[in-house]
Structure 1
Amino acid sequence: MAAIRLPVNPSTSSTTTSLFHRAAAGGTVGRIHCLSSSYPIPPSALSQDDLRKVAAIKAVEYVKSDMVLGLGTGVTAGFVVAEIGALLSSGELRGIVGVPTSKRTFDLAKSAGIPLSTLDKHPRLDLAIDGADEVDPDINLVKGRGGALLREKMVEAASDKFVVVVDETKLVLGLGGSGLAVPVEVVQFCWKYNQKRLQELFKHEECEAKLRLDAEGNPYVTDNSNYIVDLYFKAPIKDPRAAAEEMSALEGVVEHGLFLGMADELIISGKDGVRVKTK
């Protein structure tokens, strides 16, 4: 596992400093790429969204003309989509085709001017870029708190390279260690049955299984017309690979939010700069 730290001292790294300038100067998502600042901005002064923009800008450097891209879902992935759209608009990129991982990303990419397709028409993708909810030291991920885990996993598994972009708050020592949700997508039919089975599966790990609700208090429905049962662990999952296999073996479980061994590179933006970590 290799990690590369990009310094943020303006006298030693104009490239990285430029990323921070652009992120801080971009008052709206659509302006991330185009604006710059004439004064040094210390990374410590940036907000979490600014740090996400920095990581997104760095990730888009992997994109080349004529690529077929997997477009992720979530705040950071939204910044990636906006950056790609800006580069297409300026003529710096051409011939890009995007495969979105959710209806939200479809709408965002369409408004950004990115030509779109599906896995049916493009079963192999050159590159996928997406965020993550948690990242462990081996670049295993928890994803799906935005509700798009099934389509994200399908698109990213079909990609020749999968680059993950996060800010440093997403780093954990073990998956599930943040205490936030590990999503499991289940069919609506007898969802309580599967909720109870998931609860029982992790009874020795002090896990609580809860049906996800929307803002109106109704069951949250995914783009695939399924429900989500969120698993809340009080400590990191002891054996994520075994947990993934056991969840996948349950009838009625469509997909889970453990993305194990899928990411090729990780871009982390934090108060100390930008790091690129590879397998």
Structure 2
Amino acid sequence: MAVELSPIDKAKFVAAKRAVDCIEDGMKLGLGTGSTAAWMVRCLAERIREEGLQVQGVPTSSRTAELARSLGVPITTLDEARWLDLTIDGADEFDPELNLIKGGGAALLQEKIVASASDQMIVITDAAKEVRQLGAFPLPVEVIPFGWKSTKTLIEELLGSMNVLSCECALRMKDGAPLLTDEANYIVDLHLKRINEPRQLSMALNQIPGVVENGLFIDICDMVIIGHGDGSVVVRDANSREIKGERVEFEPSDNVFANPED
């Protein structure tokens, strides 16, 4: 039985389904985190059930690991897999060069480690995430809890010398307390509005003591698949610079909705 989806969920679903079609038998996969990546895990589980696809997945968060287990997707650790064929993940923003901002789901550290240990990274997203210039979405920076206020002060001092539109920084909270990542770190969100030199900013942030990693993904993404609510997708390839439109069947079965992520 087909399930009725909202236009935004249709867009996420078709992007995820198109990306999962790139997976080949025997691959070791990085499994991203977030609402669009959750669609990918469901579509992957359906291929495993229907086709007997043999894969191993490395989740980028405890949430993704829980979802994969519940759907019967085999998972392992990055240490066991050692190197991956493909990572499929979402993004909070991407620019024309396929540079990304990630970390809205507070999983940026594991996401960047896993993506960097992969032969290829495919980003699945909807059209609203495409921007001419990064920075409208707050840039997450993962910091250790010890001395986090001093680290935040150093970040603010750095931003004063960078080519950004705003320098506002805020500790991310949850239920009245600092949000904790899977590594028990904090997230400081940088509300920059515009980032003119993302590569320079990324390198400078990671030089600050107390900063673990930042959410700028530079030269990591190989392909972006943009889903639309009418069932079409646009595929952008970073290497060939090719942009092509395709159509994807967007009527998911009930099986795809098994144990959906909240």
Same structural fold, with TM-score higher than 0.5 when normalized by the shorter chain = yes
Name segments (4+ residues, structure 1) moved above 2 Å: 25-28, 270-273
Task: List runs of 5+ in structure 2 lacking aligned partners.
Answer: 239-262
Task: List runs of 5+ in structure 1 lacking aligned partners.
Answer: 1-21, 29-45
SS at match of 1:121: helix
Amino acid across the alignment from 2:216: L
The question of whether the paired residues in 1 share the 8 Å contact of 2:92 and 2:100 is answered with yes
SS at match of 2:78: coil
Q: CA deviation at 1:27?
A: 4.8
Which position in structure 1 is the counterpart of 2:123? 164
Alignment partners' CA distance in 2, 1:149 and 1:96: 24
Which position in structure 2 is the counterpart of 1:54? 14
1:214-233 equivalent positions in 2, closer than 5 A:
214=174, 216-233=175-192
Which position in structure 1 is the counterpart of 2:204? 246
Amino acid across the alignment from 1:196: T
Q: Give 2:151's match in structure 1, choosing from 166, 185, 194.
A: 194
Report which stretch shifted further, 105-114 or 197-206.
197-206
Cα deviation, 1:184-227, whole Å, max 9, x if unaligned, reads 0000001011111111211253221100001x110000000100
SS at match of 1:175: coil
Greater relative contact order (Cα 8 A, min sep 6): structure 1 or 2?
2
Q: Give 1:137's match in structure 2, choosing from 90, 96, 99.
A: 96
Which position in structure 1 is the counterpart of 2:245? none
Cα deviation, 1:83-112, whole Å, max 9, x if unaligned, reads 11111112x142210000000000000001
The question of whether the paired residues in 2 share the 8 Å contact of 1:64 and 1:93 is answered with no
Which position in structure 1 is the counterpart of 2:30? 70
1:206-217 equivalent positions in 2, closer than 5 A:
206-214=166-174, 216-217=175-176
Q: CA deviation at 1:271?
A: 5.2
Cα deviation, 1:19-42, whole Å, max 9, x if unaligned, reads xxx9xx4358xxxxxxxxxxxxxx
SS at match of 1:229: strand
Amino acid across the alignment from 2:187: I
Cα deviation, 1:101-138, whole Å, max 9, x if unaligned, reads 00000000000101110111111101100000000000
The question of whether the paired residues in 1 share the 8 Å contact of 2:8 and 2:229 is answered with no
Alignment partners' CA distance in 1, 2:27 and 2:90: 19
Amino acid across the alignment from 2:116: A
Which position in structure 2 is the counterpart of 1:278? 237
Alignment partners' CA distance in 2, 1:202 and 1:71: 32
Amino acid across the alignment from 1:256: N
Alignment partners' CA distance in 2, 1:271 and 1:80: 16
Which position in structure 2 is the counterpart of 1:125? 84
What is the percentage of aligned positions where both structures have the same residue? Answer: 44
Which position in structure 1 is the counterpart of 2:43? 83
Q: Give 2:64's match in structure 1, choosing from 91, 105, 121.
A: 105
CA RMSD between the two structures: 1.5
Alignment partners' CA distance in 1, 2:9 and 2:235: 19
Amino acid across the alignment from 2:155: L
Cα deviation, 1:50-85, whole Å, max 9, x if unaligned, reads 111110111101011111100000000000000111
The question of whether the paired residues in 1 share the 8 Å contact of 2:179 and 2:186 is answered with yes
The question of whether the paired residues in 1 share the 8 Å contact of 2:7 and 2:229 is answered with no
Report which stretch shifted further, 195-204 or 219-228.
195-204
TM-score, with length taken from structure 1: 0.81
The question of whether the paired residues in 2 share the 8 Å contact of 1:199 and 1:207 is answered with yes
